[in-house]
Structure 1
């Protein structure tokens, strides 16, 4: 069975521990990169990462986009939503269905 982890600053992710998810607090880009690589090579099927932590790891995250697992999903942190997570989901859906899912809703 695969596990679920959350990477980001402690204040943004500590609540996920109550749901049984593995929390991985990081303080900088290097720690986030190392933790992402470690989790992706382990038994983690889903890795949530705060948008702030993911901002410096675009190339690293893109390496895993072509793979089935792990799914790397950006989430907002306590500092707010940058829109990167929503944009990533929108791009994936557009590739899957061949259409802009927000067309006409803006």
Structure 2
């Protein structure tokens, strides 16, 4: 059975522990890259990552883009929502179904 992890700054993710999710606080880019690799190689099916941390390691996240597992999903942190998480989900759904989920148009 796959596990779920949440990665980001401590203030943004500590509340997820009450839901039974593994929390993985990171402080800098290098720590984030290392932790993402560890989680991806572990038994994690979903990795939530704050938008701020994801912005620091886009190439590392892209390595897992074509794989089924783990699903890496961006979430807002305490610093606010940049819209990157919603955009990422929108692109993924658009690729899967062939249309823009917000406007109903067919993608090319």
TM-score between both structures, scaled by the size of structure 1: 0.95
Aligned to 1:46: 46
Aligned to 1:14: 14
Counterpart CA distance in 2 for 1:10 and 1:53 is: 11
Aligned to 1:67: 67
Q: CA deviation at 1:89?
A: 0.5
For the residue of structure 2 that corresponds to 1:45, the secondary structure is strand
Counterpart CA distance in 1 for 2:4 and 2:58 is: 20
**How many pairs were matched up?**
104
For the residue of structure 2 that corresponds to 1:64, the secondary structure is coil
What is the root-mean-square deviation of aligned Cα atoms in Å?
Answer: 0.9
Aligned to 2:84: 84
Counterpart CA distance in 2 for 1:16 and 1:54 is: 18
List alignment gaps of at least 5 residues for structure 1: none
List structure 1 runs of 4+ shifted beyond 6 angstroms. Answer: none
Q: 1:33-58 CA deviation, whole Å, 9 max, x = no partner?
A: 10000000001110000000000111
List alignment gaps of at least 5 residues for structure 2: none
